[in-house]
Structure 1
Amino acid sequence: MFAAFVLFGFQKLFMPGEALAAMWQTRWPVEHPWLLRFTGVVDMAGGVGILMPAVTRIQPRLTVLAALGCTLLQISAIAFHATRGEFAALPLNFILLPFVVFILWGRGKKAPIVPRH
């Protein structure tokens, strides 16, 4: 999950909106550049937030918060693309959503990370 969110965040932050619009076959990156950059920041923060607290065991609750943010991002993306009729974009969101929900549940309830003392 770390790699997917960091990759998507990197694309959204550093690639031109026109290039992403052509690659994704949608106009929203050009129509809403602020949303493109904002979701890029959320993707990057989510990816790093899922991995780093778990690896370092420093502030491991941040993994749960990052997974929550990624979950809300995927739900928002599904609603956004569905209302725009961009159904070709939905499979990726429906693939990512159960993974981040699993991390949210797993690190929140099933197997929380023990903080470093």
Structure 2
Amino acid sequence: MNVTLWIVQAVLAAMFGMAGVMKSTQPREKLAAQLPWVEDFSTPVVRFIGAVELAAALGLILPAATGIAPILTPLAATGLVIVMVGAIIIHVRRKESGAIVFNAVLLLAAAFVAWGRFGPHAL
């Protein structure tokens, strides 16, 4: 189970790391072309979401890998669950069913990591 958790953590970290860098660095117009929901939020909010995703990506891997404050790994996963709940709410309002399914899968993966690292497979 530990190997499975590490694989899920790595996949989530890669996905949220890339998304976080993109939202934190790309011009608003370029983001809006790829992510239509960006039009509903101010640039600082989009940048903040990107920073949160990037921090969570780092939090999924670094504390567990280094053994320094490993409690931060399940906390990062829990934070991503909260971010995905917000994303699902936004996509429900915008009637974007494909994005809802994708966010739900990410939510379940993050919840799995939080469960595993808080509980039976804590580091």
- Residue 111 (structure 1) aligns with: 121
- Identical amino acids, percent of aligned pairs: 36
Partner of 2:16: 5
- Counterpart of 1:12, as a letter, is K
Return the TM-score normalized by structure 1.
0.88
Q: Paired residues, what number?
A: 111
CA distance in 2, matches of 1:31, 1:101: 27
1:79 paired residue among 89, 92, 114: 89
Runs of 5+ in structure 1 lacking a partner? none
Q: State the secondary structure of the residue aligned to 2:119.
A: helix
2:107 aligned partner: 97
CA RMSD of aligned residues (A): 1.2
Q: Which residue of 2 aligns with 1:30?
A: 39
1:16-54 deviation line (CA, Å, top 9, x unaligned): 121121123x1x323412221111011001100010001
Deviations 1:42-100 (A, max 9, x none): 10011000100010010000001101100100011101111122333223212211110
Q: Secondary structure at the match of 1:111?
A: coil
Q: Counterpart amino acid of 1:99? A: A
Stretch moving more, 33-42 or 50-59: 33-42
Contact 1:5 1:43 in 2 (8 A): yes
* Amino acid aligned to 2:76: A
Letter in 1 for 2:20: G
Moved over 3 A (4+): none
Report the counterpart of residue 8 of structure 2 in structure 1. Answer: none
- Separation in structure 2 between the aligned mates of residue 20 and residue 110 of structure 1, nearest angstrom: 39
Gaps in structure 2 of 5+ consecutive residues? 1-11
Which residue is 2:32 aligned to?
Answer: 21
